[in-house]
Structure 1
Amino acid sequence: MSIVQLPSTRSYWNLNLNHRLVSEVMSCNRWEDIKRFLHFNSNIYMIPSGNPGNDKLYKIRPLLNKLRERLLKVPKEEYLAIDEQIIPTKARSSLKQYNPKKPP
Protein backbone atom coordinates (compact mmCIF):
# COMPACT_ATOMS: atom_id res chain seq x y z
CA MET A 1 0.00 0.00 0.00
CA SER A 2 2.88 2.39 0.58
CA ILE A 3 4.29 1.66 -2.88
CA VAL A 4 1.10 1.91 -4.95
CA GLN A 5 -0.86 4.78 -3.46
CA LEU A 6 -4.58 5.07 -4.06
CA PRO A 7 -7.03 7.70 -2.75
CA SER A 8 -8.52 5.42 -0.10
CA THR A 9 -7.75 2.04 1.42
CA ARG A 10 -11.00 0.59 0.08
CA SER A 11 -9.69 1.26 -3.45
CA TYR A 12 -7.27 -1.65 -3.10
CA TRP A 13 -10.25 -4.02 -3.05
CA ASN A 14 -12.17 -2.20 -5.80
CA LEU A 15 -12.97 -4.58 -8.68
CA ASN A 16 -11.86 -2.06 -11.31
CA LEU A 17 -8.59 -1.18 -9.54
CA ASN A 18 -8.05 -4.64 -8.11
CA HIS A 19 -4.55 -5.05 -6.69
CA ARG A 20 -4.10 -8.78 -6.28
CA LEU A 21 -1.13 -8.45 -3.96
CA VAL A 22 -3.36 -6.76 -1.40
CA SER A 23 -6.78 -8.23 -2.03
CA GLU A 24 -5.58 -11.85 -2.07
CA VAL A 25 -3.82 -11.56 1.29
CA MET A 26 -6.87 -10.49 3.31
CA SER A 27 -10.34 -9.10 2.91
CA CYS A 28 -11.12 -5.41 3.18
CA ASN A 29 -13.26 -5.99 6.28
CA ARG A 30 -10.43 -7.85 7.99
CA TRP A 31 -8.02 -5.01 7.21
CA GLU A 32 -10.41 -2.43 8.64
CA ASP A 33 -10.96 -4.52 11.78
CA ILE A 34 -7.21 -4.72 12.37
CA LYS A 35 -6.85 -0.96 11.88
CA ARG A 36 -9.74 -0.27 14.24
CA PHE A 37 -8.67 -2.57 17.07
CA LEU A 38 -4.86 -2.22 16.94
CA HIS A 39 -3.90 0.07 19.83
CA PHE A 40 -0.61 0.60 21.59
CA ASN A 41 -1.84 3.14 24.15
CA SER A 42 -5.13 4.02 25.84
CA ASN A 43 -6.96 7.08 24.53
CA ILE A 44 -8.32 7.80 28.02
CA TYR A 45 -5.12 9.47 29.23
CA MET A 46 -4.28 11.24 25.97
CA ILE A 47 -3.72 14.98 26.36
CA PRO A 48 -5.49 16.87 23.55
CA SER A 49 -3.37 18.80 21.06
CA GLY A 50 -2.75 22.41 21.96
CA ASN A 51 -2.51 21.62 25.68
CA PRO A 52 0.81 21.55 27.55
CA GLY A 53 2.27 18.06 27.78
CA ASN A 54 0.71 16.87 24.52
CA ASP A 55 2.76 14.09 22.88
CA LYS A 56 2.27 13.86 19.12
CA LEU A 57 3.43 10.25 19.21
CA TYR A 58 1.30 9.30 22.24
CA LYS A 59 -0.62 6.54 20.48
CA ILE A 60 2.54 4.66 19.48
CA ARG A 61 4.79 5.73 22.39
CA PRO A 62 4.82 2.25 24.08
CA LEU A 63 5.86 0.68 20.78
CA LEU A 64 8.62 3.28 20.31
CA ASN A 65 9.84 2.79 23.89
CA LYS A 66 9.97 -0.99 23.50
CA LEU A 67 11.76 -0.68 20.17
CA ARG A 68 14.31 1.74 21.65
CA GLU A 69 14.81 -0.58 24.63
CA ARG A 70 15.55 -3.51 22.30
CA LEU A 71 17.85 -1.48 20.05
CA LEU A 72 19.91 -0.35 23.04
CA LYS A 73 20.62 -4.03 23.81
CA VAL A 74 22.29 -4.57 20.43
CA PRO A 75 26.04 -4.89 21.00
CA LYS A 76 28.00 -2.00 19.58
CA GLU A 77 31.01 -2.36 17.33
CA GLU A 78 34.28 -0.69 18.24
CA TYR A 79 34.00 1.68 15.29
CA LEU A 80 30.65 3.18 14.48
CA ALA A 81 29.82 5.13 11.34
CA ILE A 82 26.69 7.22 11.38
CA ASP A 83 25.42 8.42 8.06
CA GLU A 84 22.41 10.67 7.87
CA GLN A 85 20.78 11.13 4.53
CA ILE A 86 18.40 14.00 3.97
CA ILE A 87 15.63 13.02 1.61
CA PRO A 88 13.67 15.81 -0.08
CA THR A 89 9.92 15.47 0.40
CA LYS A 90 6.77 17.50 -0.10
CA ALA A 91 4.96 15.63 2.68
CA ARG A 92 3.40 17.70 5.41
CA SER A 93 4.25 16.56 8.90
CA SER A 94 4.42 18.39 12.20
CA LEU A 95 7.26 16.04 13.20
CA LYS A 96 9.66 17.46 10.60
CA GLN A 97 12.54 19.54 11.82
CA TYR A 98 13.95 22.65 10.15
CA ASN A 99 17.60 22.20 9.21
CA PRO A 100 19.17 25.40 7.85
CA LYS A 101 22.42 23.59 6.92
CA LYS A 102 20.85 20.96 4.73
CA PRO A 103 22.20 20.77 1.20
CA PRO A 104 20.05 22.35 -1.55
Structure 2
Amino acid sequence: MRKTIIAKTMMAASAFAIVAAPIAAEAAPKQRHLVCDTKSAVRRNANNGTVIGAVGGGLLGNAIGKNTTGTLIGAGAGAVAGHEIAKNRAKKKCHYVYR
Protein backbone atom coordinates (compact mmCIF):
# COMPACT_ATOMS: atom_id res chain seq x y z
CA MET A 1 0.00 0.00 0.00
CA ARG A 2 2.74 2.42 0.99
CA LYS A 3 4.80 1.58 -2.10
CA THR A 4 1.76 2.23 -4.31
CA ILE A 5 1.19 5.67 -2.79
CA ILE A 6 4.87 6.60 -3.18
CA ALA A 7 4.87 5.32 -6.79
CA LYS A 8 1.73 7.30 -7.66
CA THR A 9 3.17 10.43 -6.03
CA MET A 10 6.40 10.07 -8.01
CA MET A 11 4.45 9.54 -11.26
CA ALA A 12 2.36 12.64 -10.60
CA ALA A 13 5.44 14.71 -9.80
CA SER A 14 7.26 13.58 -12.94
CA ALA A 15 4.16 14.25 -15.06
CA PHE A 16 3.97 17.76 -13.64
CA ALA A 17 7.65 18.37 -14.49
CA ILE A 18 7.06 17.24 -18.07
CA VAL A 19 4.02 19.51 -18.41
CA ALA A 20 5.76 22.50 -16.81
CA ALA A 21 8.80 22.35 -19.12
CA PRO A 22 7.07 23.75 -22.25
CA ILE A 23 5.42 26.46 -20.17
CA ALA A 24 8.81 27.60 -18.90
CA ALA A 25 10.14 27.63 -22.47
CA GLU A 26 7.30 29.94 -23.55
CA ALA A 27 8.09 32.39 -20.75
CA ALA A 28 10.55 34.25 -22.98
CA PRO A 29 10.43 38.06 -22.64
CA LYS A 30 7.70 39.52 -24.80
CA GLN A 31 7.87 42.79 -26.66
CA ARG A 32 5.50 45.67 -26.05
CA HIS A 33 3.57 46.95 -29.09
CA LEU A 34 1.36 50.05 -29.25
CA VAL A 35 -2.05 49.17 -30.69
CA CYS A 36 -4.48 51.87 -31.81
CA ASP A 37 -7.90 51.52 -33.36
CA THR A 38 -6.37 52.24 -36.75
CA LYS A 39 -3.48 54.36 -37.91
CA SER A 40 -5.78 56.06 -40.40
CA ALA A 41 -8.04 57.17 -37.53
CA VAL A 42 -5.07 58.83 -35.80
CA ARG A 43 -4.03 60.45 -39.09
CA ARG A 44 -7.59 61.58 -39.83
CA ASN A 45 -7.94 63.15 -36.38
CA ALA A 46 -4.57 64.90 -36.77
CA ASN A 47 -5.59 66.26 -40.19
CA ASN A 48 -8.91 67.51 -38.84
CA GLY A 49 -7.07 69.16 -35.95
CA THR A 50 -4.74 70.87 -38.43
CA VAL A 51 -7.62 72.38 -40.40
CA ILE A 52 -9.54 73.47 -37.32
CA GLY A 53 -6.40 74.92 -35.73
CA ALA A 54 -5.50 76.81 -38.92
CA VAL A 55 -8.95 78.37 -39.21
CA GLY A 56 -9.07 79.29 -35.52
CA GLY A 57 -5.52 80.62 -35.55
CA GLY A 58 -6.20 82.63 -38.70
CA LEU A 59 -9.27 84.24 -37.18
CA LEU A 60 -7.43 85.02 -33.96
CA GLY A 61 -4.40 86.36 -35.85
CA ASN A 62 -6.64 88.59 -37.98
CA ALA A 63 -8.42 89.89 -34.90
CA ILE A 64 -5.13 90.73 -33.18
CA GLY A 65 -3.01 91.91 -36.12
CA LYS A 66 -5.77 93.30 -38.37
CA ASN A 67 -3.66 92.49 -41.45
CA THR A 68 -2.63 89.60 -43.71
CA THR A 69 0.64 88.93 -41.89
CA GLY A 70 -1.13 88.41 -38.57
CA THR A 71 -3.64 86.11 -40.25
CA LEU A 72 -0.92 83.97 -41.84
CA ILE A 73 1.16 83.72 -38.68
CA GLY A 74 -1.93 82.85 -36.64
CA ALA A 75 -3.03 80.25 -39.19
CA GLY A 76 0.41 78.61 -39.20
CA ALA A 77 0.70 78.52 -35.43
CA GLY A 78 -2.89 77.30 -35.08
CA ALA A 79 -2.31 74.53 -37.63
CA VAL A 80 0.73 73.21 -35.80
CA ALA A 81 -0.95 73.39 -32.41
CA GLY A 82 -4.18 71.82 -33.67
CA HIS A 83 -2.30 68.98 -35.34
CA GLU A 84 -0.32 68.10 -32.21
CA ILE A 85 -3.31 68.36 -29.88
CA ALA A 86 -5.50 66.16 -32.09
CA LYS A 87 -2.74 63.59 -32.63
CA ASN A 88 -2.03 63.28 -28.91
CA ARG A 89 -5.72 62.97 -28.12
CA ALA A 90 -6.13 60.21 -30.70
CA LYS A 91 -3.13 58.33 -29.30
CA LYS A 92 -4.70 58.27 -25.84
CA LYS A 93 -7.18 55.75 -27.23
CA CYS A 94 -4.29 53.38 -27.88
CA HIS A 95 -3.07 50.63 -25.58
CA TYR A 96 -0.07 48.34 -25.29
CA VAL A 97 -0.16 44.63 -26.13
CA TYR A 98 2.59 42.19 -25.20
CA ARG A 99 3.47 39.67 -27.93
Structure with the larger RCO, 1 or 2 (CA within 8 Å, 6+ apart): 2
Q: TM-score, normalised to structure 2's length?
A: 0.23
- Structure number with the higher strand fraction is 2
Higher helix share: 2
TM-score by length of 1: 0.22
Larger Rg: 2
